[in-house]
Each structure stands twice: as structure tokens, then as C-alpha cells.
Amino acid sequence: MTQEKIIVLGGGLVGGPMALDLAAEDRFAVTVADLHSETLEALQTKQPKLAGVQRDLSNPAKVSELVAGYDLVLNAVPGFMGYATLDAILEAGKRVVDISFFAEDPFTLNSKAVSAGVTAIVDCGVAPGLSNLLVGRVAEQLDHLDSVVIYVGGLPEVRQWPYEYKAVFSPIDVLAEYTRPARYVEDRKMVTRPALSDPELINFPGIGTLEAFNTDGLRSLAQTISSPAMKEKTLRYPGHIEKMAMLRETGFFDETEIKVGQSTIRPIDLTAALLFPKWKMEPGEVDLTALWIQMEGRQNGQKVSHGFRMLDRYDSQTGVHSMARTTGYTATSAVRMLSEGLYREPGIAPPEMIGRHKEPCDFMIRCLRERQVILEEETTGGSPILN
């Protein structure tokens, strides 16, 4: 059997579990590239079949050179490196599944992907990612999609003062959630609101009361889905908004250097150095991922609603945290889907584009279910989409 050669760029909180998941199948020959040798050694201890390459992935030219010998790339670098890395992968003419969640518009790379004749599935995590897949599937079924509301959050099960939060993906990307303006659709118009704005309390079954606030998670849906009202909000334990807003407004998230004594420093670097050790998710520590999607629309003149809810937990058997499971396994499901040849259209493809096609969408949902990432669906007036 000819093995498909896959390289995972970044072996961190999510990149590592993705590599392990794919390496469990004999049809894949998986390599992980990471700056830190100890990260590679830890992954290879868990899975000896994994190959490791120690590389600084911040140089796009080196990335293009690195991925040239592989069939498919899984991009799991931090967001601030994501766009340049994706550009480099496409420069090498490689298919890619990307979870780096960068701020730039991925569609500016569409012509490069089309010219190379490759598919680039971007924003392929839990939300954006799995949420987009479901929105695309529902939008394809309805005559008109009236509204989309997405709530998502990764949380520690045990709430510990002072932050009652742990970073379940790249911490620097968490801070970006509190500063990047949030875009959503209201009355068919794109509206921009500050991050952390429009707080509301919701009751999430199995957890209790959570607070929700605007973050820039709608992303490609605002361009690819026709609906007069769409928004995405992040979930945290009550009180989190006030803490983060205080830090932001005081200047702790600023990226402009300031002088302190005889030294200069970016406030965000100091904040990161202080917060990240407190936000570190320790091995065996239980985390939760909460996802709630509500869509309203019309089909054959009748009102239809589709609701999806997921509450996922840390897997004590594999030692994989929930956010790594729900984000990473969505991405590895997309890798398997591409490997099966179920979606071949070249260009930038956020997951809602995959969702418009039943066979690849159903395949990805089945892959997630096999890994115990379970969605509950509640449909009124229409046909369920989950088999």
C-alpha cells in the first residue's frame, strides 16, 4: 500500500494530537515540524511511527522548501504566522488543511490555490470550522436562511481564581480574541463591534450560566452565506469580560513599545509572560468545549429551525484535551475526506463550502462521531441533517 505523506506544521496543543490521530492509520506517513526538539521527542515517545523535523517555521521560503516533498499539509502554526505560512504552502503547490485562524482574508490567496490546482480548507477547527460545516449544510437545504447564531467556548471544568480560565489553544491567539474587532451581519449589512462587547448570559445544559461576548469568529460566513442576520460569540464563565476589558483598556494588550526605566517593552509581551503560566492547561486537567448553533429559515414557505449542541470533555484515556479533540479532529476529518477524493475543487474552501455537498459533509461528521465528538440536533419543521 502506498502511503500518503502528510506534514503537520506545529506540534503544540492542537498540532500534536492531530499528528497522533493521523499516524494511527497505516495509510498515512506523518511528519511533524516544530521549533522545539522536546515537543517532537514527546510526540515520538507516544507514537514511534511519527517522524519529526526541527524547523523554525517563521520563514515562508523555508516552509515552501520543507513541504515540497509531501502530499498534503496540515497547518497548525499560531495565527500571527498563519497567512504567510498558508501562502508558502500554496506557493509549493500543496493541498492544505489550515487551523491557524489568522486575521487576514484567506480569499486573497484564492487565485494562487486555483492556479496550483489545489484545495485549501481554511478555518477548519471547531468554530470556525465545524460550525461553518453545519451552517453550509443547512443553508444548502433551505430556500432561505433567516438567521445564524453561534456560541462557542473552551473552558476548564474546575474554576480557579483569579481567571477561571485556561488556554486550550495558542495563548497568543486567545489574546487576539480580546482585541480584534468583531464583525457580524445585521439587516444584511456588515457591522463591526469591539471585541468583548454586547455581553449576555446564557444557560448551557451540563455547565450552567455562562457569559457570551462578541469576537471575530464569523469570518468567512459573512462572505459565503446569504443571511440577513449572523453572529458568533465566545463563551466564558461569568466575570471574564470585565477582567479582560480592564486589562485591554489599561493598555496591557498594546503592541506599541513603551519605555520602562532604561528598557523598552511591548505591553502585550509582558502580559503574555505573566498570564500564560497561569493559563497553562496541565496534563490530566479536565477541559470542556461548549458549542451551540441556532439557525432559522424557510423551506417551501414553512418556518424551519435547526439547532446543534455539543458539550465535549477531556479524554482521560488518550490524554487529549477537549479543544484539541474538537478542533484537531475536525481538521483530521477534512484530511481524510480529501484523501478519499470526496472534494476536489481547487481554491480557498472554508468548511461551509464543504458543507454544501452532502457526501463530504456526512463523511466528516462520521469521522468526528467515531472519535466521540458528538453533536445533538434539534430540528423543527424540517428534516434533520445528521444521519
Q: pLDDT tens for residues 68-98?
A: 999 999 999 998 899 999 999 999 999 999 9
- Bridge partner residues of 312 (DSSP): 289
Q: What is the helix (H) or strand (E) element at residue 18, kind and residue range?
A: helix 15-23
For 246-282, the pLDDT digits (tens) are: 999 999 999 999 999 999 999 999 998 999 999 988 8
Q: For residue 275, which phi and psi values (nearest 5 degrees)?
A: -80, -40
Q: How far apart are the first and last CA of the chain?
A: 31
CATH 3.30.360.10 residue spans of the chain: 130-313
CATH 3.40.50.720 residue spans of the chain: 4-122
User: Quick one: cell of 144?
Assistant: 432561505
For 165-203, the pLDDT digits (tens) are: 998 766 777 888 899 999 999 999 999 999 999 999 999
Q: To which residue does cell 486573497 refer?
A: 108
Nearest CA to 83 among 66, 63, 69?
63
3-state helix, strand, coil in the chain (%, to 5): 35, 30, 35
Taking CA 312 as the corner, what is the angle to CA 153 and CA 167, rounded to the nearest 5 degrees?
Answer: 40
For 222-255, the pLDDT digits (tens) are: 999 999 999 999 999 999 999 999 999 999 999 9
Q: How many CB atoms lie within 10 A of CB 54?
A: 13
| DSSP 8-state secondary structure symbol assigned to residue 68 | T
So what's the pLDDT on residue 376? Answer: 96
Taking CA 263 as the corner, what is the angle to CA 258 and CA 268, rounded to the nearest 5 degrees?
Answer: 45
Taking the C-alpha atoms of residue 112 and residue 122, their distance in angstroms, rounded to an integer, is 14
What distance separates the 2 farthest-apart alpha carbons in the chain?
70
> Span 4-122: which CATH code?
3.40.50.720
Residue type, 84: A
Overall fold of domain 130-313: Dihydrodipicolinate Reductase; domain 2 (3.30.360)
Taking the C-alpha atoms of residue 32 and residue 70, their distance in angstroms, rounded to an integer, is 12
C-beta of residue 145 within 8 angstroms of C-beta of residue 188: no
User: Quick one: cell of 369?
Assistant: 462521531
Taking the C-alpha atoms of residue 219 and residue 107, their distance in angstroms, rounded to an integer, is 11
What's the whole-number mean pLDDT along residues 145-170? 91
Q: Are strands 144-156 and 376-380 parallel, antiparallel or unpaired?
A: unpaired
| Residue 326, SS3 per DSSP | helix
Taking the C-alpha atoms of residue 339 and residue 326, their distance in angstroms, rounded to an integer, is 20
Q: Tell whether pTM > 0.85.
A: yes
Taking the C-alpha atoms of residue 84 and residue 321, their distance in angstroms, rounded to an integer, is 28
Q: To which residue does cell 457569559 refer?
A: 211
For 121-150, the pLDDT digits (tens) are: 999 999 999 999 999 999 999 999 999 999
For the chain, where are the E strands, in sequence order?
4-9, 28-34, 51-54, 72-75, 95-98, 119-121, 144-156, 182-186, 189-193, 200-204, 208-214, 229-236, 258-260, 263-265, 287-299, 302-313, 347-348, 376-380
Which residues, 6+ apart, have CB-to-CB distance to 311 below 8 Å?
204, 205, 206, 207, 288, 289, 290, 291
Q: What is the helix (H) or strand (E) element at residue 176, kind and residue range?
A: helix 171-177
So what's the pLDDT on residue 387? Answer: 73
C-beta of residue 337 within 8 angstroms of C-beta of residue 266: no
